Amino acid sequence: MYPPGDEQTRQNVAVGAIIVSSLLGMACVSLRVYTRAYVFRNMGNEDWTMILAAVLTMVLASLFLVSLKKYNMGFSGISLTMEKSVESAKLGLAVIAVYKTIVTLIKASILMIYLRLSVTKAFAWLCKGSIYLLFTYQAIVLIIIPLECIPLRKMWDFTGTVPGHCIDTATFYYITSAFHIIMDMWILLLPYRLIFSIPRPTREKIAVYAVFGLGAFGTLCSIIRFHFLVVALHSMDPYYDALGLHVWSMTEVNVGIICASIPTLRPLLSRAQRTRTKHALNIPEKSETPLPSPSSSKRGGLLQAKEMFITLGTLTAGTFRGTNASSVYSDEEWNDEKPPPVPPKDMRAPPRMAMPDMAYRKL
């Protein structure tokens, strides 16, 4: 037995953590949508993907709150009725499916930002390959979840009277969680070569990488959640110990949403940053006429990459101009409007008078 009031206190803290983290995540997504849709009128696939992740996050928060308040998740299993235990197990399947979908969408959104930055085929291929891998793996997970037990009702058969068999669910959950942790680390390392190939001082490169590296906080939350997953799966009272897993699952997805959205919010706080980003996107101010659109798809892609770096608030439009021949960026690629060539100077020297005083006499 647990100390009197301990279970209720833990549950109240969990409810507060879920609500606060969800509100922070939704606030960041709302500001991101306002910045991208209203200020710049340049919504991308990564923004729509994040919106879908945010909607599912609210669904996940609702499922957790129902599990906590209606089915007393976080209380000792001894205090639960058989009916509540069965309903809680059914709800758990929906929680797992929604949670796995959210973390996949968040990672895909970050990779789509990388894809907009890609100016080499190799980097674009790595981004697309990672996105395809994520969605393929997610499809496999969604297929396996309802097949964990055959028949499915054996999963909540606590009496052992239903014939059938189940897979090793603990191993399945370990594999799926470890996969996403590994993908988090891959996403953190993926832009390393792109950023450090920029011909700029090392301090600026590290600053840019730090912006991309905000996802490290999400990775840390994933690792902490994995610890609570191990605790819950090996617990003698899983209904009580699963509370930490619930809280850190919500914390992980909301921290991921916040970290993926913060870099897009800098122009909202800086007028100069908004002006530079609008210039990179060819978005005129209210008193200006629209600028001509890029004449080629290659230049358009380069402008998108430049705009994304400007939005991150570390690099300006001229950052990538360099003289290093080994760099993947060149002056010709980043000049939107090439200046006309300077006409050659007349190298002929003006005629010189041997005796200037003779000109005087002629006058």
User: What domains does the chain contain, in order, with CATH numbers?
Assistant: 6-269 (1.20.1070)
What does the alpha-carbon distance between residue 307 and residue 263 come to, in Å, rounded to a whole number? 12
Phi, psi of 240 (to 5 degrees): -75, -45
**pLDDT score, position 161:** 85
Can you say whether residue 162 is alpha, beta or left, with left for phi > 0 and alpha for psi between -120 and 50 degrees? beta
**pLDDT score, position 15:** 95
Q: How far lies 27's CA from each of 24, 142, 197, in Å? A: 5, 29, 34
**pLDDT score, position 270:** 58
Q: What is the pTM of this model?
A: 0.75
**pLDDT score, position 337:** 44
Compute the half-sphere exposure of residue 56: CA atoms within 13 Å on the CB side of its CA. Answer: 21
- Closest residue by Cα to residue 282 from 274, 293, 298: 293
Per-residue pLDDT of the chain (363 residues; tens, 9 = 90+): 677 678 899 999 999 999 999 999 999 999 999 988 888 788 889 999 999 999 999 999 999 999 999 998 888 888 888 888 889 889 999 999 999 999 999 999 999 988 887 878 888 999 999 999 999 999 999 999 999 999 998 988 888 888 989 999 999 999 999 999 999 999 988 888 777 777 777 777 777 777 767 778 889 999 999 999 999 999 888 889 999 999 999 999 999 999 888 877 876 765 545 555 555 445 555 444 444 444 444 444 444 444 444 444 333 333 333 333 333 344 344 444 445 555 555 555 555 554 444 444 444
- Closest residue by Cα to residue 212 from 104, 117, 99: 117
**pLDDT score, position 342:** 58
**pLDDT score, position 343:** 56
**pLDDT score, position 67:** 92
